[in-house]
């Protein structure tokens, strides 16, 4: 029997249909094991690699970042935003993403930010941009080269990285308008409308204005940054579609882009390649940054 319900988003007529696409925990056998993997990789990075932790970049307690400096001065820089649908995890849970890039000579910065519902998504985007502004102004004090800067993120963090790519840096911050050499965007959310009808809505509290202001797919601009838009080949069709749609818009704006799924990866393992210098994500960053 055909449903008479009007679609909530595209062809999805119920919250359950949307949740099955946008709740990545439903597609892995043990979500707890994925969190434990992140925690173990983070522990190794913090115990085995030089790092400067919990540096403040803004006025609130949540606005801190962790720097994993490369050994050589003037190193290229990778700024990473963690995922968690803007309402869970912290930078401390994702120190493992520094293991690969740092070993290849890339200073890695992992950004912490406040979470919904304590703050709004607008505020989280503001904090992400403030973190990048801090890096551009101060990373030279920690051995990094702000002229060779890559930005990236995973899931909600890829959304934040994309919002940073679309920032008018000169107008709003007095910084170079196109400060990024490369962007690694993994399993991102680029159109927020479907999440309004999902299990996440009580926590992230989207409305028309928030969606309009914070959907990167609606704001793509020409900036020349080379982007790798990736997702796990084992993820839902919507994560693949969102990635493809953003990559198409990025290319249409005149920006270089690579669109490629990570084979045998699901939503949580798609960034494992940053934990190993031989991983595809780490090697791509090194090539893009000229290491």
pLDDT (tens digit, 9 = 90+) per residue, 110-143? 999 999 999 999 999 999 999 999 999 999 999 9
Write the pLDDT tens digit of every residue in 265-289: 999 999 999 999 999 999 999 999 9
Write the pLDDT tens digit of every residue in 42-74: 999 999 999 999 999 999 999 999 999 999 999
Look at residues 175, 148, 159 and name the one whose alpha carbon lies nearest to residue 121: 159
Write the pLDDT tens digit of every residue in 2-30: 456 789 999 999 999 999 999 999 999 99
Write the pLDDT tens digit of every residue in 192-245: 999 999 999 999 999 999 999 999 999 999 999 999 999 999 999 999 999 999
CA distance 238 to 241: 5
Question: What residue ranges do the domains of the chain occupy?
Answer: 15-288
Strand order in the sheet with 182-186: 52-56, 64-68, 107-111, 75-81, 144-154, 182-186, 226-232, 257-262
Sign, CA dihedral 262-265-268-274, equals: negative
Write the pLDDT tens digit of every residue in 146-156: 999 999 999 99
Sign, CA dihedral 124-127-133-137, equals: negative
Residue 1 has pLDDT above 60, yes or no: no
Residue 5 confidence (pLDDT): 79
Residue 4 confidence (pLDDT): 67
CA distance 216 to 191: 7
The distance of Cα 183 from the centroid of its chain, to the nearest Å, equals: 9
Q: What is the CA radius of gyration of the chain?
A: 18
- Give this prediction's pTM: 0.97
Average pLDDT, whole number, for the chain?
96
The CATH code that applies to domain 15-288 is: 3.40.50.1820
């Amino acid at each position: 029997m055909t449903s008479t319900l009007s679609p909530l988003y595209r062809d999805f007529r119920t919250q359950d249909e949307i949740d099955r696409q946008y709740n990545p925990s439903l597609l892995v056998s043990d979500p707890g094991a994925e969190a434990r993997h992140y925690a173990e990789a983070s522990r190794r990075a913090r115990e085995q690699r030089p790092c400067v932790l919990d540096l403040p970049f803004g006025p609130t307690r949540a606005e801190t970042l962790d720097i994993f400096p490369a050994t050589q001065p003037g190193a290229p820089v990778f700024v990473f935003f963690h995922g968690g649908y803007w309402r869970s995890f912290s930078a401390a849970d994702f120190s493992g993403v520094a293991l690969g890039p740092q070993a290849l000579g890339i200073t890695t910065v992992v950004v912490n930010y406040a979470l919904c519902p304590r703050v709004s998504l607008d505020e989280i985007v503001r904090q992400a941009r403030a973190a990048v502004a801090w890096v551009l102004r101060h990373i030279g004090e920690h051995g990094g080269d702000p002229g060779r800067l890559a930005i990236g993120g995973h899931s909600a963090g890829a959304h934040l990285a994309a919002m940073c790519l679309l920032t008018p840096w000169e107008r709003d911050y007095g910084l170079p308008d196109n400060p990024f050499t490369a962007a690694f965007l993994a399993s991102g959310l680029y159109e927020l409308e479907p999440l309004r009808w999902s299990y996440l809505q009580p926590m992230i509290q989207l409305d028309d204005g928030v969606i309009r202001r914070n959907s990167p797919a609606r704001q793509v601009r020409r900036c020349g940054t080379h982007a790798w838009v990736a997702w796990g080949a084992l993820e839902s069709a919507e994560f693949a579609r969102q990635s493809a749609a953003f990559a198409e818009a990025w290319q249409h704006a005149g920006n270089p882009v690579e669109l490629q799924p990570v084979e045998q990866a699901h939503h949580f393992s798609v960034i494992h390649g940053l934990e190993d210098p031989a991983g595809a994500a780490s090697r791509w960053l090194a090539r893009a940054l000229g290491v």
